[in-house]
Structure 1
């Protein structure tokens, strides 16, 4: 598997009618109607069967695992577990980040100890090329703000796709050492993180197939695939377009200002890097997506029939294999305090707030958040909170200062709403738990996710002002108190706020949770 903030998967498969990824590798045989692990395009078999124990590789670029991009690492580990359960040996190849807090080693060792079929191999920190080599043609003027920003980028802030590109030679050199003993020669399958899609060149050089693994939703995938078309349609940047609607096949139109922040300026280094690697994704043998077709049928179908593919490029098969939801860590006792506290609360009375592993709030925003929660009658370190806040709210709220097991918290009957940054992992966990959302997007694709959650699924209401410097306390109070009731009482597109998969009959929490556990078991993830 290959990750940029993520991974590559490899399988040693006999030659037959060609290299194809069999959905049965990922699933557990025939799947129920709710989630068939179907290739959204025409399904093709392996032809030659398996020979021996397949081999997997995952490459990862990005920050130190327990802090930056941890959710993406978790998804690749979950994918690795599923492959390992099917008899594959998986190696996760990580491009060492330019900084190291010392937490990566213990994290990787813990994963390997709990999953002997998953191992890790670290490539050296990639040396970034001169700025001129990292650009695509037609760079911005040398004295422009985008050009100055790019020239001043330290290595840790260069686009991840560039780190993947310059590390390709190291991956080729390391390849012989990564082969399984007793299995010389070819027969490897590469699964690369979407931001590492330039590793498709490595697969071509080695004569093996490459698949891309996309850890976000299918709607976001549609936008990334369609980006070269949008680029050709206009010379304006998304920032300049403001409220003008962006139209992408298979998804609801959205204001340009809601696009991913790194893509707001077409002269930005990240934007240009995404444009540069777009063809690699389409030249892969398939794209694996952490979603399920009944959640995003329009986007999945639009991608599968080529509506999002730029002219002149092939449309790869799409494999919807989600939801990949992290299982409880073996032997981890963190977070038990908050679960015990939830047991003492009335049903659906608790508003849970969590903003992911990379989010940072200013001291001013933290105070406004605390004041708003206190005013709402629902409650949420010490130095940033108003004086006496913890004492005044101890009967109505709980501050978790270390680690909260989000999946287990959301599954609790006592949780009535979730204030979330709309990261895709959080969205999947919330949908599977049947909990309504109050959306507060912060970075990456999260502003696009809220359009999907609010307009198409009707599972969320926004916290107004999230795009301003500070969301005021009165907005927090009004949305947490009134918004929670609005979410709970509204008739949603799924039949009920605690309904299951779209189009199915409404289900209340016990049934929804039981269905969720069955679904997770069917994709091979512990519950």
Structure 2
């Protein structure tokens, strides 16, 4: 559980660092904020974006800010901090964004103190922080003359402030439309049965517009009804239904069944209105800020044959224990295929350090003896991080072993790279089902839902992806999805037209 003692310790540990980052970011963005005020005086509409603190959500919201700023809107992104997140890298990242995008400014809210929560899930803290930050948001909006507030899914409580102040309130949903259908329908499922999803086990659950799912595949924070994360999630649907619209990071032709079900009101709880749905994606990182073309892994990829390399990367929170890392290594070597693998240190066993940034991995200790030397000609292991967007866009990459985070999925789609699905947390098991059964863009890694994925399963699936007729068909489907995605974004494309319609509505007096 998140208890006050451990929370206070982490807050104390990061307080000085957080304050330093906060001051640095504020000083770097003051000038830009003044420019934003000047633009408002010149008649530009002000839009405030309110992301949740998670890096994936923040990156998606920044990309939204970029496309809105390109339409002539003045953008301010408000930043909140989680007590267990190390923010040392965030300040330079945001400063880089403002330097490259003068129409975007940032405003940092003071860090709030989170009370004890009877939950093991960081999502519960994320919801709680959004709620505790409401007074800061109310004060900021009251003085900003904002025309529009766009909030992250985890910050849906802020839509109450928008209604209170007469500000147009929208939600930006950073995952799939199929996941949105589920979360909108959650109160219906809650009312239909007294059993928790954990108690339902493998029972199949029906939600309009999406494939049937076993209850075990829903996010872990929703497994128990008495968990604060579950109770917070229950209120998201009515919050969104009272909004003036839901902006989704997808494109309609990728998920037509889910989008149509939502728009038809089939996912909305009885008695609540169905807000308009705006599919404006795919929004992915427009560039890897600060990454040089000569990055080690990109230079290595330049020397590999076309579509020959399997890329393994599991997101900023995706970590495996030492045993699983060894099994992956043995499987990759046995496959005989080229690979680029991002390895992170195993999770810390200390609960107080569970969400802290792990140290650099000790590859000699984690990998089988002689592995790096034996695979020198065919593989490259990168510590902790790689420029994923640029790697996926490289012609040498022929497959992607992914945790199924939606940002990663969209980057793979935009690059036309087929996926092996290895979901780990959040809504990723749901995404796996959507990708495999509905969209046909991925195949599951055998054993992902077991205690460990064995080496022979890794080897066989990697060989299948690169060599088999089934892998070739998967690649062709993904390339077709890539073409549709790019068509959606060009002038006159479905997402481009939807964004134009949304912004033109904001411009009306």
TM-score by length of 2: 0.79
* Paired residues for 1:187-202 under 5 Å: 188-202=147-161
Work out whether 1:102 is the aligned partner of 2:88. Answer: yes
- Post-superposition offset of 1:491: 4.0
Q: Tell me the equivalent position of 1:394.
A: 376
Q: Does 1:54 align with 2:34?
A: no
> Of residues 48, 59, 71 in structure 2, which corresponds to 1:86?
71
Q: What secondary structure, in the 3-state scheme, does the structure 2 residue paired with 1:419 have?
A: strand
Q: 1:428 aligns with which of 410, 435, 452?
A: 410
Q: Which residue of 1 aligns with 2:111?
A: 125
Unaligned runs of 5+ in 2: 1-40, 342-360, 500-509
Distance in 2 (CA, whole Å) between partners of 1:215 and 1:369 is 30
Partner of 1:10: none
Contact 1:91/1:118 (8 A) holds in 2: yes
> CA deviation digits over 1:287-334, x for unaligned, max 9?
000000000000000000100000111110000000001111355317
CA contact (8 A) 2:331 2:459 kept: yes
User: 1 or 2, which has the higher helix percentage?
Assistant: 2
For the residues of structure 2 that align with 1:517 and 1:305, how far apart are their CA atoms?
A: 26
Alignment partner, residue 405 of structure 1: 387
Residue in structure 2 matching 1:454, options 409, 424, 436:
436
- SS at structure 2 position matched to 1:230: helix
Contact 1:334 1:405 in 2 (8 A): no
Return the alpha-carbon distance in structure 1 between the equivalents of residues 324 and 109 of structure 2: 39
Offset at residue 421 of structure 1 (A) = 0.5
Who is 1:172 aligned against?
A: 138
Tell me which moved more, 198-207 or 269-278: 269-278
Q: Distance in 2 between matches of 1:272 and 1:371?
A: 42
The answer for the alignment partner of 1:373 in structure 2 is 332
CA distance in structure 2 between the partners assigned to 1:71 and 1:334 by the alignment: 23
Check conservation: 2:392, 2:411, Cα contact below 8 A. Answer: yes
1:479 match: 461
User: Structure 2 vs 1, CA of residues 431 and 79 (structure 1 numbering), >3 Å: closer, same or farther?
Assistant: same
Residue 277 of structure 2: aligned partner:
318
Equivalences for 1:473-512 in 2 at 5 Å? 473-486=455-468, 488-489=470-471, 491=473, 496-501=476-481
Change (3 A) 1:458 1:330: closer
Q: TM-score with structure 1 length normalisation?
A: 0.77
C-alpha distance in 2, partners of 1:253/1:158?
26
Please report how far the alpha carbon of residue 130 of structure 1 lies from its aligned counterpart in structure 2 after TM superposition. Answer: 7.0
- 1:221 partner SS: helix
Q: CA deviation at 1:444?
A: 0.5
The alpha carbon displacement at 1:395 in A equals 0.5
Unaligned runs of 5+ in 1: 1-49, 63-68, 132-148, 180-185, 502-511
Deviation at 1:403, TM superposition (A): 3.6
Is 1:306 the equivalent of 2:306?
no
| Structure 2 Cα separation of the partners of residues 335 and 311 of structure 1 | 55
Could you tell me how far apart the structure 2 residues matched to 1:407 and 1:519 are? 19
- Paired with 2:398 and 2:154, the residues of 1 have a C-alpha distance of 36
> Residue 187 and residue 432 in structure 1: after superposition, are their counterparts in 2 closer, same or farther (change >3 A)?
closer
Secondary structure at 2:108 match in 1: strand
Matched pairs, number: 430
Quote the residue 1:26 is aligned against.
none
**Displacement of 1:337:** 2.3
Provide the C-alpha distance between the structure 2 equivalents of 1:240 and 1:516, rounded to a whole number of angstroms.
Answer: 39
TM-fit CA distance, 1:357: 1.0
Contact kept? 1:435, 1:497, Cα under 8 Å: no
